[in-house]
């Protein structure tokens, strides 16, 4: 039995230059697990609490020294001596120790960093690649071990790129019939072609938070038109070889009870916004649509499913926030056909797995996602394969913290061939 001997943590910087927590779990046999947490920019209203110091003299109040202290002085001492493969027990201890609904006492960042570090150490003890170790925790009947289809965010907008366009993410999704290696090449070719088009038009090729370009465009339509052009230039067929997706992050385009998009001269009611999405879908084959509607308007979510659900996956990110209660509401209201899973929205590995299981049993598409503020931790790549997720969303096929995950999937693909 390999027992937890020590847990320590430190403050590191994430891809946005702000602090994140990194935790190391040391076992009595000398093995270790190290994990760090990401951080969102467009944070949902129902997410577990990322604990920040609020000390304005450091990192604009975003320091995580309290979370570090919680790991070292509150969580760690309660885990010493426990068998590291008891993930459920360990996560439950942390949930109970926190005692709040949203992990605001200890911090979801503190708790998740320990939870993931424990899983990584336990995988080493079990002499299994992490994705195979994590698979022990799911019901596997009729589920294939495969690399999920990647959705690449090649054009960044909204809060991720200085408000250049309204929608937050413009995604390209190679057909799932392509191998993972082919998908990476397709994503790279599209990314390079888009860069050239932007350059030729005198537009900026600087990138946003998730590695996609962030040019100042006329409107959202122009973003989709430019991406379509880049797809055409590499001789792929939109709607056959490759598809488009959007994360509207609608909470951020909703003010005073209406939606605001540059494409329209006047602000829009939900039904008018849905008509706009339908227009975009008929022109650009939008198979993936995340957070199209604000998180408080369930009726319009149900409506968009009726109008577009047979062609487009309607996905809840901020709507559900990887939260089992919000998921149940979404299922009751038939509001989504897909769910974004971000482990840091809920705060432990076991709870994230439980949300995946419920969503899958309800027939939802499962999308495992990074955050805009990332570290080089590649846990979510293993997690996505372990969960037999349908899609992964790790940003552009560029920038270190994004490709860390894509590269880990390449490695897993090879490991799968040798199983
Ligand atoms: P966030 O963005 O990490 O800033 O929340 C990602 C997303 O909305 O999918
Ligand atoms: Zn989102």
What domains sit in the chain, N to C, each tagged with a CATH number?
4-127 (3.30.390.10), 149-417 (3.20.20.120)
Average pLDDT over residues 154-173: 95
What is the model's pTM?
0.98
Strand intervals (E) in 239-383: 242-247, 254-255, 258-259, 286-290, 313-316, 338-341, 365-369
Instruction: Provide, rounded to the nearest whole percent, the portion of the chain with pLDDT above 70.
Output: 100
The residue length of the chain stands at 419
**Per-residue model confidence (pLDDT) at position 24:** 99
Q: How confident is the model at residue 141 (pLDDT cuts 50, 70, 90)?
A: confident
For ligand 1, which residues put their CB under 6 angstroms from it?
40-43, 168, 247, 249, 317, 369, 371-372
249 C-alpha vs ligand 1 centroid, how far in Å? 8
**Per-residue model confidence (pLDDT) at position 142:** 86
320 C-alpha vs ligand 1 centroid, how far in Å? 13
Average pLDDT over residues 271-289: 97
User: What are the catalytic residues?
Assistant: 210, 342
Instruction: Summarize pLDDT for 199-217 with one digit per residue, the tens.
Output: 999 999 999 999 999 999 9
418 C-alpha vs ligand 2 centroid, how far in Å? 35
Nearest ligand to the C-alpha of residue 14? 1
Instruction: Summarize pLDDT for 222-254 with one digit per residue, the tens.
Output: 999 999 999 999 999 999 999 999 999 999 999
Cβ atoms of 248 and 168 closer than 8 Å: yes
Residue with CA closest to ligand 1 atom 1: 40
Average pLDDT over residues 321-331: 98
Q: How confident is the model at residue 377 (pLDDT cuts 50, 70, 90)?
A: very high
**What six digits make up the tokens of 258?**
């209406």
Cβ atoms of 118 and 33 closer than 8 Å: yes
Atom of ligand 1 nearest to the CA of 318: 8
Give yes or no for residue 321 having a pLDDT over 90: yes
396 C-alpha vs ligand 2 centroid, how far in Å? 14
Backbone angle region of 12, left / alpha / beta, with phi > 0 → left and psi within -120 to 50 → alpha: beta
- Which residues have CB under 8 Å from 54's CB, separation 6+? 61
Instruction: Summarize pLDDT for 82-92 with one digit per residue, the tens.
Output: 999 999 999 99
Residue with CA closest to ligand 1 atom 4: 41
Average pLDDT over residues 114-135: 98
């Amino acid at each position: 039995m390999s027992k937890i001997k020590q847990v320590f943590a430190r403050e590191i910087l994430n891809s946005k230059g702000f602090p994140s927590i990194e935790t190391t779990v040391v076992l009595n046999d000398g093995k270790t697990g190290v994990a760090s947490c990401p951080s969102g920019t467009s944070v949902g209203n129902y997410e577990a609490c990322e604990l920040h110091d609020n000390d304005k003299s450091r990192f604009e109040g975003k320091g995580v020294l309290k979370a570090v202290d919680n790991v070292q002085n509150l969580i760690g001492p309660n885990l010493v001596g426990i068998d590291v493969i008891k993930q459920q027990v360990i996560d439950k201890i942390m949930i109970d120790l926190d005692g709040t609904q949203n992990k605001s006492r200890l911090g979801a960042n503190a708790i998740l960093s320990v939870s993931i570090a424990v899983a990584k150490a336990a995988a080493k003890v079990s002499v299994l690649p992490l994705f195979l170790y994590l698979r022990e925790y799911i019901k596997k009947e009729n589920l294939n071990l495969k690399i999920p289809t990647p959705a690449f965010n090649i054009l960044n907008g909204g809060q991720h790129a200085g408000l250049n366009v309204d929608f937050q993410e413009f995604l390209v999704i190679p057909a799932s019939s392509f191998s993972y290696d082919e998908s990476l090449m397709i994503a790279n070719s599209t990314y390079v072609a888009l860069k050239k088009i932007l350059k030729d038009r005198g537009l900026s090729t600087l990138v946003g938070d998730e590695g996609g370009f962030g040019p100042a465009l006329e409107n959202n339509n122009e973003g989709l038109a430019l991406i379509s052009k880049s797809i055409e230039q590499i001789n792929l067929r939109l709607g056959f070889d490759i598809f488009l997706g959007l994360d509207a992050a609608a909470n951020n385009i909703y003010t005073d009870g209406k939606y605001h998009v540059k494409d329209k001269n006047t602000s829009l009611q939900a039904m008018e916004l849905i008509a706009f999405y339908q227009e975009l879908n008929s022109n650009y084959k939008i198979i993936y649509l995340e957070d199209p509607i604000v998180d408080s308007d369930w009726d319009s979510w149900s409506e968009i499913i009726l109008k577009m659900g047979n062609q487009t996956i309607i996905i809840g990110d901020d709507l559900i926030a990887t939260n089992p209660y919000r998921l149940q509401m979404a299922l009751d209201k038939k509001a989504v056909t897909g769910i974004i899973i971000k482990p840091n929205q809920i705060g432990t590995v076991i709870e994230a797995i439980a949300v995946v299981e419920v969503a899958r049993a309800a027939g939802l598409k499962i999308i495992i996602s990074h955050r805009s503020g990332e570290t080089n931790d590649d846990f979510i790549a293993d997690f996505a394969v372990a969960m037999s997720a349908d899609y992964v969303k790790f940003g552009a096929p560029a920038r270190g913290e994004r490709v860390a995950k894509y590269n880990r999937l390449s490695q897993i693909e090879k490991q799968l061939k040798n199983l």
